[in-house]
Amino acid sequence: MQWMGWTISTVVFWFLLIFAQPPFPDDARRVSETSSTRSSSMHKETLPIEVDDVLVKCEVDTPFDIQNTASARGILDITVHRGIAPLASDAFLDMVAANHFDHNYTFRAVEGFVVQWGIETDTNNKGKRIKFANVDIDPPPNSQLETALRSNVRGSLNFAGGSSASGQVYVNRGTNSHLDKEPGSLPFATLDENSMSIIDSIYSYKEGLGEVAAVKKGDTEVKRLFPRMSLIERCWIDKS
């Protein structure tokens, strides 16, 4: 009988050894499950946006103010969020591909408000104006992340007047939330802080001095009247 008891004990021992799970601290399990859930949630929300982002680079210069070392010069990195604003984004990217923004003066620069460009000059276009379609408006943001990327806050980029037909874009120098209530498209791209330091260094002339007329006439008139005005030398889609 003793050998039977020994045999049963042995079987029970091996059963517990094989099928029982090792002890797992409840706090550690809770952290692990929470981290997994959070990671999954963040991945689900951000992945579509990150995958569809397109990087556009624009070279900025201030060609007639060469003696001033503080003049705006450098490369802007513009991240276009196609995943959340495909209509406005594609319209903008088409303009970049068509070289529309090349040799564009920043004809409007307002301290703490916006910097704007997109008017062709006679120097570059020989008097011909390119017409652009007014694309439909993208659906409104449906998450906190999308709202943050598509609000008129510092570093966001949008079409002037909320319409692609203008061919003009502006970058917010500060937070201009009141523009979110204006009709038309919301911002569809963002600039990083290094790029914003270049935007901040663009000289701000007082509005209404004839900047638009000078830009339309070309380089000679800009140099004569607004020598500190900056220029978007060229823009391109970065494929690196």
CB 106 within 8 A of CB 155: no
- Residue 19: pLDDT band (50, 70, 90) is very low
The predicted pLDDT at position 49 comes to 52
d(CA 199, CA 229): 12
Question: Which residues contact residue 118 at a Cβ distance below 8 angstroms, ignoring those fewer than 6 apart?
Answer: 100, 101, 104, 160, 166, 167, 168, 169
Query: For the whole model, what pTM was predicted?
Result: 0.77
* Most confident listed range (50-59, 108-117, 144-153): 108-117
Instruction: Give the pLDDT mean for 200-219.
Output: 96
Contact 145, 42 (CB under 8 A): no
What does the pLDDT read at residue 125?
59
Distances (CA, A) of 143 to 148, 150, 162, 182: 9, 11, 21, 20
Closest to 196 (Cα-Cα) out of 231, 171, 170: 171
Mean pLDDT of the chain: 82
| Per-residue pLDDT tens digits for 137-152 | 999 998 998 999 999 9
Percent of the chain with pLDDT over 90: 66
Where along the chain do its domains lie? 50-237
Q: How far apart are CA 179 and CA 77, in angstroms?
A: 23
Per-residue pLDDT, averaged over 179-192, amounts to 95
Fold of 50-237: Cyclophilin (2.40.100)
* pLDDT tens-digit readout, 67-84: 888 899 999 999 999 999
Higher confidence at residue 62 or residue 40? 62
CA count, 13 A, side-chain hemisphere, 194: 8
CA-angle at 110, arms to 63 and 128, nearest 5°: 55
| CA–CA distance, 193 with 125 (Å, rounded to integer) | 32
pLDDT in the model for residue 167: 96
**Among the ranges given (38-42, 179-183, 201-205), the one the predictor scored with the smallest mean pLDDT:** 38-42
Decide if pLDDT at 14 tops 80. Answer: no
